[in-house]
Homo-oligomer: A and B are copies of this chain.
């Protein structure tokens, strides 16, 4: 497999998400393989129909990704990949900045006289969003945070945050293991997996993810941590909170028992 063909589908996808079409990507790649080329040579290298090469070259030129020689026939050369990607990214970053600004304006003016989201149970998709939400609710903690979680949930960032919040709120954690003995002001209970009594078997599954209860008012239930399609539930619903609060107490009572 040639180096070109090995990742060719992938690299074309990448270039598409940087704003090129398939042909633009193919022509740009073709030009990278040589010092310079005429339209016909590009056609041969890239397999793009010869007649299509000309408009594509025009577009690449408008996007500032190639240089053109003043000769007949015209010769074309690609900017280096570093330069080319930088040029494409700078366009996108400009768009991103604009989007952020305009969208923020819209977001600030959003209609707030809607029913609050308190009576709902929300799905949070993706491990990054879950971490974000977890950070959000811990940060907003008033007087207590209670966590049962797989160690991988309690990332260094979360742990740092917990240490900070511990200054003003009571924090209780149940987990399998705790890296570094220093628990600071945190109350940490460690329970190994296999010790779990049979009647709490379904808890194992929960422990693959975790539960975080803040101020007995908000709950984040993390279901599985298969990095890709992790899902969490978030709610401020009274019944939901009460249910998981009881669930939490059940586990903690058992965790607190001396081994």
Chain A positions within 8 Å of B, measured between CB atoms, are: 3-4, 7, 10-11, 13-15, 17-19, 29, 32-36, 61, 64, 67-71, 75, 77-85, 87-89, 91-93, 95-96, 98-100, 102-107, 109-112, 114-117, 120-126, 128-129, 132, 233-234
Known contacts A64-B128, A103-B11, A125-B61; is-contact A88 B77 (Cβ 8 Å): no
**Contact check: which of B10, B14, B35, B103 meets A110 at CB < 8 Å?**
B35
Q: Which residue of B lies closest to A91 (CB)?
A: B17
Q: Is there contact, CB below 8 Å, between A114 and B83? A: no
Cα distance A161–B135 when bound, in Å? 46
List the 3 closest pairs (A to B, CB-CB), nearest first. Answer: A81-B103, A14-B99, A70-B121
Closest-CB distance, A186 to chain B (whole angstroms): 28
Q: Is there contact, CB below 8 Å, between B34 and A102? A: no
Q: Is there contact, CB below 8 Å, between A124 and B81? A: no
Q: Is there contact, CB below 8 Å, between A96 and B88? A: yes
Known contacts A17-B19, A64-B126, A120-B70; is-contact A96 B106 (Cβ 8 Å): no
Q: Which residue of B lies closest to A99 (CB)?
A: B14
Cα distance A75–B81 when bound, in Å? 44
Q: A68-B123, A81-B100 are known contacts; what are 10 more A-B pairs with Cβ within 8 Å? A: A4-B106, A11-B103, A14-B99, A33-B107, A35-B115, A67-B129, A67-B234, A71-B121, A89-B92, A89-B96
Cα distance A32–B69 when bound, in Å? 48
Q: Is there contact, CB below 8 Å, between B122 and A77? A: yes
**Contact check: which of B99, B126, B234 meets A15 at CB < 8 Å?**
B99
